[in-house]
Structure 1
Amino acid sequence: MSFSYFAMLGTVLIGVFLALRIRHNRRWALVVGCLSWFLTIFYFLIEFFVIKESMVPYSFLDQPMSDLGVTVCGTNTYLLAPYEICSPAHLLMNWTFTITGLTTVIGAICLQQFWPATRMARVATWLLIIFGLSMSVAGIIPADVSFVWHTLASLPGMFVQIPALFLLGKAIRGIRPKLATWSYICGALTSAVLLSLFLQAFISLPGGLLQRLLYASVYVWSMGTAVVIWRNRGHLLSKEI
């Protein structure tokens, strides 16, 4: 692996360390946390550019996101990829996986203190952290470098966000019913998409699009949630949002 991938790992470690330090300052935690979740919108803008740079046809509907991070050109670049892949901007894509996951983690760490002090909220925060780290590690270890470790890293990011959104929705239902409903809606969408991915074994479905929706539902949720928190920043010193 090149130095860039070690730099990605170092960036994640430093980012998590700084988030843990920043969270003790409520004002900075709110600003950094909201900004981090806002930044997830850039994932799909960068992915669009990377797709345009592909040297061979790439199907947004059918091919997985990981194909854009494959570091070599050719066929059979990793297990389950018997088709041709050539993504010259793979390094940019893997940095994008890494940073997008990191922004999710930083937001979860910094904004955790603004949720109710309940076990459900704490568990939801940990699950969101796992979700973000899952994506970051998948960027640090491309599919062609180690398909096994790339897959193992990616798997939690397909599941953990679902209980996270439902648990957080239940935790804030009494104080933020609209935000709770928003969490339930995004959680239900993610659940439906995950079920559709499993149904691919029986019916033909656009797997690439479904995978993107699986992640996009969390990013859209986090951006919407960050807007709500930011609009209520006048209650910065309160224990709950």
Structure 2
Amino acid sequence: MCGFADVGSRAERFVCSPWHVLANAGTVFNGLALAIGALLLWRFWPRRVSGRAGSLLLAIGGLLVVGVGLTPWDLLPDAHHAFALLQAPLQWAGMLLLVRATWHGALPRAVPVVTASAAMLSIAGFALFVDALAGGPSASLGLGLTERVAFDTLTLWSAVVGVLLLRQRPPQAQAQAQAQAQAQAAAAISAGRGTRPRRASSSP
């Protein structure tokens, strides 16, 4: 959002995009949405340690995104980088834990597949971003593109998986509905047996 323009010329100056405040506010909102979404989707994950731990790490990752937005790079670069570098591995760990929790669960297979694919793509993008910062071959792709692949992939994953989960009933609700249906079927069978007319006894 901010940087030096016309570098090397007499007109070199430090400028900021007129939309930098809105961009920072959007980052804060995005982080809050990620954290709140992770908590709201808590009931969808299997009741396993990996599922609960993964959801918790995603919520913490969302709060770290809030920190990224509250510490603009042009004003607080060290804090900005620290929040970003903490958020990425925490979210990767949370996503991989959710892959483990949901791979053999009742949720659609698309959930763990999309989650694993997004995590791998984000990690690859982060490696390219670090290489570009160091002036490596990835610099030809540009810092902006590699950074977007590294971090925005996580945001897109949250939206896609959120839609997939909201189209499903939580596993606990599915189990309760199945148990209720079985109980109703058993009650109907018992009632049918209880009201079955008896055969008339034959006279000797």
Do they fold alike, i.e. is TM over 0.5? yes
Detail structure 1 runs of 4+ shifted over 6 Å in the superposition. Answer: none
* Contact 2:57 2:90 survives alignment (8 Å): yes
What is the TM-score of this pair, normalised by structure 1?
A: 0.61
- 1:215 maps onto 2:147 in alignment: no
Match of 1:129 among 59, 75, 82: 59
**Letter paired with 2:166:** W
> For structure 2, which runs of at least 5 residues remain unmatched after alignment?
6-11, 177-204
RMSD value, Cα: 2.5
Instruction: Tell whether the 8 Å contact from 2:44 to 2:170 is kept in structure 1 after alignment.
Output: no
Per the alignment, do residues 197 and 239 of structure 1 end up closer, same or farther by CA in structure 2, a change over 3 Å counting? farther
User: Residues 83 and 227 of structure 1: is their aligned pair in 2 closer, same or farther, counting only changes over 3 Å?
Assistant: farther
What CA distance in whole angstroms lies between the structure 1 residues aligned with 2:175 and 2:35?
21
User: Is 1:225 matched with 2:161?
Assistant: yes
Deviation at 1:236, TM superposition (A): 7.4
Aligned residues with identical type, % of pairs: 26
- Contact 2:122/2:153 (CA < 8 Å) preserved in 1? yes
Letter in 1 for 2:35: V
Letter in 2 for 1:148: D
The alpha carbon displacement at 1:234 in A equals: 7.8
> In the alignment, is residue 96 of structure 1 matched against residue 26 of structure 2?
yes
Query: Quick one: distance in 2 between partners of 1:174 and 1:212?
Result: 31
Given the two structures, how large is their TM-score scaled by the length of structure 2?
0.71
Distance in 2 separating the partners of 1:189 and 1:140: 26
Question: In 2, are the aligned partners of 1:131 and 1:161 still within 8 Å (CA)?
Answer: yes
2:118 to 183, 186, 193: 186
Find the partner of 1:198 among 130, 133, 158.
130
Task: Measure, in 1, the Cα distance between the counterparts of 2:89 and 2:114.
Answer: 18
2:91 aligns with 161
Tell me the distance in 1 between the aligned counterparts of 2:142 and 2:75: 26
Corresponding pairs, count: 164
Q: In the superposition, relative to structure 1, how do residues 167 and 236 fare at CA in structure 2: closer, same or farther (>3 Å)?
A: closer
C-alpha deviations, 1:177-204, integer Å up to 9, x for none?
2211111111111121122123222322
Aligned counterparts of 1:74 and 1:210: Cα–Cα separation in 2: 21
2:44–2:171 CA contact under 8 A, matched in 1: no
Provide the rounded CA distance (Å) in 1 between the counterparts of 2:57 and 2:151. Answer: 14
Shift of 1:110: 1.1
The higher-RCO structure (CA 8 Å, 6+ apart) is 1
Counterpart residue type for residue 155 of structure 1 = L
